[in-house]
Amino acid sequence: MDDDREDEDTKRDIAPYVPRRPVMAVIGNGLALDAATEAVCVELGRRAVEAGFRLVTGGLGGVMAAVSRGGREATTWRDGDIVGLLPGYEASTANPYVDIVIPTGMQIGRNILVVAAADVVVAVGGGAGTLSEIAVAWQLGKPMLALATSGGWARQLAGGRVDDRRSDRIASVATAEEAV
């Protein structure tokens, strides 16, 4: 009899199921951005959060900070919507717009975590680090978009394929609106 009562108590303590919100990883250059790219990144972050996405980035500057800032500016932003997976151990290196700071200590290995955590990956500009994230996302079968107007690897791979292991392509988008 006591067992039945414990089962009922346990059932009451379980929170109701809430569907998981989709996660968008935005990958790109950590350096200072030109005004146009920064504006697109801010808009991308805002639109993504307003569309119901959580954002995950590498948590540092450049594209990562601009997208995070945009996410924070969203009318629907909630604490926890912006996740930053840092390469080092120092949480203080995160950009100020990150809600959840995860210092991985994995250096470039954290690039794998950024894309593995995502339901969709958006590339903006980018150099070698972004290229590594694109390659991993491709191998993991993640849906991918590239902001073709942003330069770097995003421009070079927009509309193309990394290799022949997949039949789809990296979607080429020109605006934040198209990306979301």
pLDDT means per 10 residues in the chain (180 residues)? Answer: 53 77 98 97 99 99 99 98 99 98 98 98 98 98 98 98 97 97
Q: Which residues pair with 25 in a beta bridge?
A: 56, 121
For residue 159, the model assigns a pLDDT of 98
Task: Tell me which amino acid residue 52 is.
Answer: G
pLDDT for position 44:
99
Structure-token pair, residue 71 = 């996410």
Domain boundaries, the chain: 20-179
User: What per-residue confidence (pLDDT) applies to 15?
Assistant: 77
Can you give the length of the chain in residues?
180
Q: Token pair of 12, please?
A: 């009451």
pLDDT of residue 17: 82
Q: How confident is the model at residue 7, as a pLDDT? A: 56
What's the pTM value of the predicted model, to 2 decimals? 0.90
The three-state DSSP-derived secondary structure of the chain is CHHHHHHHHHHHHCCCCCCCCCEEEEEECCCCCCHHHHHHHHHHHHHHHHCCCEEEECCCCCHHHHHHHHHHHCCCCCCCCEEEEECCCCHHHCCCCCCEEEECCCHHHHHHHHHHCCCEEEEECCCHHHHHHHHHHHHCCCCEEEEHHHCHHHHHHCCCCCCCCCCCCCEEECCHHHHC
pLDDT at 130: 98
> Can you tell me the distance from the alpha carbon of 147 to that of 39, in angstroms, rounded to the nearest whole number?
13
Query: What pLDDT was estimated at residue 13?
Result: 73
User: In Å, how far are 28, 60, 96 from 91, measured between CA atoms?
Assistant: 20, 10, 11
Residue 176 CA to residue 11 CA, distance in Å, equals 43
Q: What is the largest CA-CA distance in the chain?
A: 69
Pick the CATH number of 20-179 from 2.60.40.4070, 3.40.50.150, 3.40.50.300, 3.40.50.450: 3.40.50.450
pLDDT value at position 3?
Answer: 53
